Structure 1
Amino acid sequence: MVEGATDAGVHRVALRVSPRLAGSNPGLVKISPRWAATVRVRRQGVRLELDLRDNLQAVLYYAGRYEPAVRRFLRDELRCGDVVLDVGANIGAHALTAAKRLRELGGGRVIAFEPAADSAAKLGAGAARNDVQLEVVPAALGERRELATLRADSRYDEADAGVRSLYGDGEVVQEVPVLRLDDWAREHELDRLDVVKLDIEGAELAALAGASRTIKRLRPRAVLVEDKRPESSGRMHAVLDELGYLPTGAVLDHNAVFRPELTG
């Protein structure tokens, strides 16, 4: 917790607990995925139930924070009445923070897309535990409506929910529905969108392709997209440029911030 007081300290804690980097931490004792390791805690004003076998949740437990720069951005950016879209919400580290902040500001709406059934259930339970409004959509976003296979990442423990993806090379987690945001927004008459956070382990380009009409129509004032894959970074920037969004230069915990291009 002391080390987690700084952003650099949070990063160091993440490196220590990562199963992928176990060889660099020979003295670190890991909790076996076969054991139950669930704890209930309060972190930065949010009540959470954390599974310490999961890398993301372990960082949040031990460091006290996860992606602190993103959390600060949300607290500073959100305004009363905002509609926030969190794609790849996992257990709600950011979605619950955003919902709590909007409640403090007087109201708003948080829509969380999360395809994994266990994580989606934790989102719902977390909203109830913190008495906040959170709309959970148990689906992934992509460029077409289909069923897809959600897989684990072979570099991590099988309980690591935060690194599951549609492109994983590990064990099959479950079959999940994939939706286009454009279809969902039309069917649910979405008429406002202010902040979008997109972190879906390599599927960001597909999700943006299926969300192009909605982004052009509703013009959210901020789009955060995970940008840590050199092989796809250039294409992602080009797609957002086509949608009328330019990078601000800010990169928050590997999430690049884009704003609408000023016209006229």
Structure 2
Amino acid sequence: MYPKDVPGSPPPVTTHDGVTFRRMPPGADAVYVVGEYRFDDIRPEDVVLDLGANVGAFCIRAARRSQRVLAVEPILTEALRENVRTNGAGVTVVDGALGDGSVGRITWGGETVTVTTHTLGEIAAMAGGCDFLKCDCEGAEWSIRPGDLDGVRRIEMELHVPPIGGPMNRALLDYIGEHYDFEIERTPGYDVKGVMGVLHAVRKNGR
């Protein structure tokens, strides 16, 4: 990882919409833009969860719309916190990962960490609820218990299949099909091995 505040270190990245990020080295798999996710309908009163926050591309922009944003990230947490501070974003950052509560090893961008995972219900409890869920957890989305989505109005979620993640949780898909109007966007960016697509879902009762 590039050192910060060192002469000769690469300049930060500033995106077209004015978000500034620490420039990460090649191979870190840092994400600075969020073109695949829809978030224009985040409401000021929403509690927003960003699971798999990376360096903050989604949560920093979400914080422009809601003051109640919690971001969970297992590996790039240091850069995430720096980017949140740089942009003056009201985001609570949690070291950790989505899962079933067990301890697991997670690899991303050439780094591997051992973390205690948290269920969606536990993470929502930390935040005081969840109205808008963004999830990009490289297969850990299948650990979500359907009941933990009760009360979640909107979902933006990358869905994975083997070899990245799986097996798929049929109970989760059935719950989403029953309670949400949704689509799974597969193209143009998601015709790749291990990625089913991005789920865009709106709860049917319009809450």
TM range (shorter): 0.7 to 0.9
CA shift digits 1:223-250 (9 cap, x unpaired): 1121253787894464143254335225
The residue aligned with 1:249 is 183
Under a length normalisation based on structure 2, what TM-score does the superposition of the two structures give? 0.76
Deviation at 1:52, TM superposition (A): 3.6
The amino acid across from 2:26 in the alignment is: R
1-structure distance, mates of 2:153, 2:70:
16
Query: Which stretches of structure 1, 4 residues or more, deviate above 4 A after TM superposition?
Result: 230-234
CA shift digits 1:202-223 (9 cap, x unpaired): 11101x12xx44321xx12111
2-structure distance, mates of 1:115, 1:233:
19
Deviation at 1:198, TM superposition (A): 1.0
The amino acid across from 1:229 in the alignment is: V
Contact 1:86–1:197 at 8 Å: present in 2 too?
yes
Aligned-pair identity in percent equals: 25
Correspondence for 1:220 among 136, 141, 152: 152
Under a length normalisation based on structure 1, what TM-score does the superposition of the two structures give? 0.61
1-structure distance, mates of 2:179, 2:122:
21
Task: Report the RMSD for the aligned CA atoms in angstroms.
Answer: 2.9
2-structure distance, mates of 1:255, 1:136:
24
Correspondence for 1:109 among 68, 80, 83: 68
Deviation at 1:175, TM superposition (A): 1.1
| 1:183 aligns to 2:122 (yes or no) | yes
Contact 1:85–1:196 at 8 Å: present in 2 too?
yes
**Which protein is richer in strand relative to its size?**
2
Unaligned runs of 5+ in 2: 1-7, 190-196
Contact 1:115–1:139 at 8 Å: present in 2 too?
yes
In the TM superposition, 1:137-216 aligns within 5 A as 137-143=94-100, 145-152=101-108, 160=109, 173-186=112-125, 188=126, 190=128, 192-206=129-143, 208-209=144-145, 212-216=146-150
For the residue of structure 2 that corresponds to 1:132, the secondary structure is: coil
Unaligned runs of 5+ in 1: 1-35, 61-65, 153-159, 162-171
**Which protein is richer in helix relative to its size?**
1
1-structure distance, mates of 2:36, 2:127:
32
